Structure 1
Amino acid sequence: MPDVAYYASLPRTRGAAAALLLDDLGRVLLVKPTYKEGWFLPGGVIEEGESPLAACVRECEEELGLVPRLDGLVCVDWGPPRDGVDAVNVFVFAGAITAAQIGAIRLPPDELSDHVLVSPEKVAELAPPHIARRMPPSLRAMAEGRAVYLEDGRVPALGAAATPQPTGLDSRAANG
C-alpha cells in the first residue's frame, strides 16, 4: 500500500497541452484568448486525472469545435514560474488541419475572440516571447518526426557544465 501522506506532501507541477496544427500550406493555427494578450496554440490546462493527449483533444474540441488529426508529441516545454503562476509542463502535440476543418471552426466567444493561420516566421510577431521561442524547435522536431525537450522555449545546455535535469528521456533523442 502506498504511503498516501508521503505522496500528498510532494510538490505538484501544473500541466498544459497544446496542438501545433499546420494547414496544407504549412501555416500555423493560432487562437486569440479574450482573457490575456497575444496569440496562442489551441490548448489549455490538463485536468486532474487527465492525460496530456486527452487534454489536448478535449481543448481542441472545446476551443475549435472540432478534433483535428494529431500525429504525436513534438515538444515538452518546462515553463518556469511567471507572473505569480507556478511552473508548468507544456505538452505540444503536432497535427494537421484541413481547409474544411478551418471553415468549420467554432470559437467559444467567452474564451476566444479570433483565430488565424500564419506562416511559422510570423508567430513571433503575434505570440508572447515564451510561446514564440517554442515554435522553431517544435516545428523542426515535427518535420524530423521526433520530440524535443525545452526549458522556457529553449533547448537547455546539457553536459558536465549543466545542471542535470531528470527527463526520463535519452538526451540525444530529446535534444538532438
Structure 2
Amino acid sequence: MTWTEPATWYANLASFYAAAAAFITDAAGNVLLVKPTYRDHWAFPGGYVEEGEYPHAACAREIREEFGISLTVGNLLVVDWAPPAGVRPRAIISFTFDCGSLTSLDGVELPGQELEDIAFFAYHEAEQRLPDNVAPRVHAAMRARDRQVPLYLVGGFPAPLP
C-alpha cells in the first residue's frame, strides 16, 4: 500500500449533502409542515446544512429564517440516508430534530419568497402531503420521540442493521 497525500485522499472520498429538519407538533399531536413556493409538495421546516455548520445549528437557523422565531432544538429523532436520485448527483443525509410543540402559529412570520403556507396536519394527512421518500419520517419521528431513541432510515425505510 502506498502513502497518499492527505489532500488527495480527502479529495477522493465520497461526498454528500446534509439537511436538517424540525419536527414540531401542536398539543393534539398534529405535525407542522410548510409549503415552499418552489416545490409542489409540503415539507418539514428546515433546509440544507451550510459549510462549517452543525446540523442542529442549521435546524435552529432555518426555523429563525422561515418563521421569525427561535425554538429550542432538542434531541435528534431521525437520520435518513438517501442515495443519489434524479437530478441530485449525491446522497443526502437528513437529520430530523425534536423542536417541541407550539400552541399556536401566532408570531410566525413566513418569508413570502420562500414559503407560501404553514399548517398543522394529522399524522396521516402530513404523510400524504410529503414526498413518498420523506413521508416515513413522520412515523419514525413520532416513534423516536416516544421512545427517546433516534431512528436510522435508509431512503425512508428502517435500516437493516447487522
TM-score by length of structure 1 reads 0.84
For 1:97, the equivalent position in structure 2 comes to: 101
Uncovered stretches (5+) of structure 2, i.e. residues with no partner: none
How far did 1:97 drift?
3.2
CA contact (8 A) 1:69 1:97 kept: no
Deviation at 1:109, TM superposition (A): 0.7
Give distance in 2, aligned partners of 1:89 and 1:50: 14
1:19-52 per-residue CA deviation (whole Å, 9 max, x = no partner) reads 0011121111100011111111000000001000
Percent identity, aligned pairs only, is 36
Q: 4+ residue stretches of structure 1 with deviation over 6 A?
A: none
Looking at structure 2, the residues matched to 87 and 6 of structure 1 have their Cα atoms a distance apart, in angstroms, of 20
In the TM superposition, 1:30-41 aligns within 5 A as 30-41=33-44
In structure 1, the partner of 2:92 is 88
Larger RCO, structure (CA 8 Å, separation 6 or more):
2
Partner of 2:148: 145
Q: 2:60·2:72 contact (CA, 8 Å) conserved in 1?
A: no
Residue aligned with 1:56, SS = helix
TM-score (normalizing by structure 2)? 0.91
Structure 1 unmatched runs, 5+ = 160-176
1:114 is matched with 117
Kindly state the Cα deviation for residue 69 of structure 1 after the two structures are TM-superposed: 2.7
More helix by share: 1
CA-based RMSD of the aligned residues comes to: 1.4
In the alignment of these two chains, the number of paired residues is: 157
